[in-house]
Structure 1
């Protein structure tokens, strides 16, 4: 398990739309939803199924359902922008919310809010964060899920950098991280370069 960077032409095309500083809030939000759905569509090729009995208008036959319960874990607030696109694709997926703030003394993220399904330890969890920069928030979310006995965890981000990716894999080498692009670096303010700016501000029109 490791870093996976998608090469899909449609993903690259759509990512270029949201990189553009002139992309408005409505378009930005819609494309983030589309990219999130495309990512999960590709990942879902490896999902396990179980067979069920169904009846068509013509005859009885065998059908299939997803074996695992899917839980989406958007990191507030930017991660919320990725949720709807995936739920459109997998309506049965549930959503766990994890809110964090940065400790002013240590500068490390602290969990201030968490709400999740009771059976989360038995579920396949996808951490959603459009930008994987320092990796601190994602790492703290993984720590929290591990405390809840979750074993199946995958990270989905649209853009990341080596620094954040490596920080996660150094502690959790068995985690899968999926990106559409691995960007060059972080600047002095911990923004991804070239990146796309502040994803939360652009999603919710607060820039």
Structure 2
């Protein structure tokens, strides 16, 4: 399922970061704000549990998030999305997954995976700014499922229709949350109109 988080504050931030003259420090700040603005939608259907709550006046009850949350940025661009989520979910644990392309098969492979255990008792939020061809996100979900994860959702800044189709074909049970759905991919696999290489722009390596 695809969830397009259509919000005027998010749209305004996206307009700014699409501009090529947006400096990298400002790009990082705006991506962080977009991530924070996406959190309520991404987490809206998390399970809750009722717990006792002692106010200054009386004993009542209130909600707590039922299961631990693990944020999983895909290295390296996913790191730019991480702090915005941590701003609103400071109790979340953080796992990391690194992917690289196998030069023989041209398919992504995980070269690094570090996570709390057990994954099956937590709700995972996979983070990567761009869903272009879908290869990295698909492989990341597959790797996490093989490691024992049961509940995964994917959050991104921009998604291309080609990436959405590939992701949903491989993992139809994993919801996608995106700030924008762009037009298409170009011949090099970049999202159009897009914003360029998110990792390079986040870390000033253009």
Normalised by the length of structure 1, the TM-score is 0.95
Does the CA-based 8 Å contact 2:49-2:65 persist in structure 1? yes
Does the CA-based 8 Å contact 2:49-2:64 persist in structure 1? yes
Does the CA-based 8 Å contact 2:98-2:112 persist in structure 1? yes
Deviation per residue, 1:78-101 (Å, 9 max, x gap): 000111111110111111100111
Measure the CA separation in 1 of the matches of 2:21 and 2:143: 37
Measure the CA separation in 2 of the matches of 1:192 and 1:140: 19
Measure the CA separation in 1 of the matches of 2:69 and 2:125: 8
Equivalent position of 1:127 in the other structure: 126
| Superposed CA RMSD | 1.2
Equivalent position of 1:197 in the other structure: 196
Equivalent position of 1:69 in the other structure: 68
Shift of 1:173: 1.4
Equivalent position of 1:101 in the other structure: 100
Shift of 1:53: 2.1
Indicate the SS of the match to 2:187. Answer: coil
1:158-197 aligned at under 5 Å gives the runs 158-197=157-196
Indicate the SS of the match to 2:44. Answer: helix
Mean Cα displacement is larger for which, 182-191 or 155-164?
182-191
Measure the CA separation in 2 of the matches of 1:98 and 1:29: 20
Q: Where does structure 1 lack aligned partners over 5 or more consecutive residues? A: none
Equivalent position of 2:205 in the other structure: 206
Shift of 1:44: 2.4
Equivalent position of 2:109 in the other structure: 110
Indicate the SS of the match to 1:45. Answer: coil
Measure the CA separation in 2 of the matches of 1:57 and 1:165: 49
Q: Number of residue pairs matched?
A: 206
Measure the CA separation in 1 of the matches of 2:89 and 2:102: 35
Equivalent position of 2:86 in the other structure: 87
Equivalent position of 2:58 in the other structure: 59
